């Protein structure tokens, strides 16, 4: 069983929709959570990071962490065609130096 | 601001040939540096990380090696490439005790 599970999609939504992207994890030791956006043939770009349970908002993006359920989400409001990309969750557990554990990514397409 | 460079952007090499990929970071000192490989449709696999000059930790046994000859330079090498070495190679950096990692544009390697 992978430590971090992420639905690969693909996920297609119409422009303006609210998008929900999710990851589950099995190890309760994970404490630091990140979301990356990766456009085709480009390096991942850090979107958001959070160290605690609850919600963190940045513009159209909201990161949600539920440690009791071992579940994290990224919500995108008013989605745009430019949001079309693969979204990767990442997390870190104490004692693992600087290593992050990544999900396999969800491919999102926002249709105009 | 910090900038991370990787070159070359794409590379096609025959099996058995040597490899050298370079990564440099600007705008920061003593970064933590990382090499990842991303296979098609899969997540990121950490290959090497470095917390300082000459300090390299290997995560996956393979025919690749890494070196850090200068504070902000990280090199990925191989003496003889295998077909299975094909993939998208990403360099990343993080600052001090921070866990957020920032990625370069990547090198797409095809071994033929």
Q: Which residue of B has its CA nearest to A104?
A: B43
- B15-59 pLDDT, tens digit per residue, is 999 999 999 999 999 999 999 999 876 789 999 999 999 899 888
Strands A106-111 and A11-14: parallel
| B99 backbone φψ class: left, alpha, beta (φ>0; ψ -120 to 50) | alpha
What pLDDT is attached to residue B30? 92
Q: Scanning every residue of chain A, which has its alpha carbon at the shortest distance from the alpha carbon of B44? A: A102
The answer to whether B106 faces chain A, any CB pair under 8 Å, is yes
pLDDT at A97: 64
Q: Is B109 touching A (CB cutoff 8 A)?
A: no
Q: Does A103 touch chain B (CB under 8 A)?
A: yes
**B95, burial (CB in 10 Å: exposed 0-12, middle 13-18, buried 19+):** middle
Cβ of residue A44 closer than 8 Å to a chain B Cβ: yes
CA distances B44 to A49, B52, B80, Å, are 18, 22, 23
Residues of B (55-94) whose Cβ lies below 8 Å from A: 57, 59, 88, 90, 92, 94
**CB-count exposure of residue B109 (10 Å: 0-12, 13-18, 19+):** buried
- The answer to whether the beta carbons of residues B33 and B49 sit under 8 Å apart is yes
| pLDDT at site A96 | 63
Instruction: Identify the band that residue B61 occupies on the pLDDT scale cut at 50, 70 and 90.
Output: low
Asked if B100's CB is within 8 angstroms of A49's CB, the reply is: yes
Q: Which of B42, B49, B100 lies nearest to residue A99, judging by beta carbons?
A: B49
Average pLDDT, chain B: 93
- Looking at residue B99, what is its pLDDT? 85
- Which residues of chain A fall below pLDDT 50? none
């Amino acid at each position: 069983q992978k430590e971090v599970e992420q639905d690969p999609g693909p996920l297609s939504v119409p422009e303006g929709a609210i998008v929900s992207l999710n990851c589950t994890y099995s190890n309760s030791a994970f404490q630091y959570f990140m979301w990356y956006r990766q456009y085709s043939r480009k390096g991942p770009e850090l979107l958001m990071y959070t160290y605690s349970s609850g919600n963190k908002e940045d513009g159209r993006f909201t990161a949600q962490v539920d440690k009791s359920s071992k579940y994290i989400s990224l919500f995108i409001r008013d989605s745009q065609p430019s949001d079309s990309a693969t979204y990767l969750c990442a997390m870190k557990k104490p004692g693992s130096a600087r290593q992050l554990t990544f999900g396999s990514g969800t491919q999102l397409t926002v249709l105009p | 601001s910090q900038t991370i460079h990787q070159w070359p952007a794409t590379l096609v090499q025959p099996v058995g040939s040597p490899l050298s990929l370079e990564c440099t970071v600007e705008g920061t000192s003593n970064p933590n540096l990382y090499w990842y490989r991303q296979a098609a449709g899969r997540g990121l696999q950490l290959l090497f990380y470095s917390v300082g000059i000459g300090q390299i930790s290997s995560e996956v046994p393979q025919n690749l090696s890494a070196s850090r000859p200068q504070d902000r330079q990280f090199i990925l090498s191989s003496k003889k490439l295998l077909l299975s070495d094909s993939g998208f190679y990403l360099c990343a950096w993080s600052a001090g005790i921070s866990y957020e990692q920032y990625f370069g544009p990547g090198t797409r390697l095809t071994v033929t």
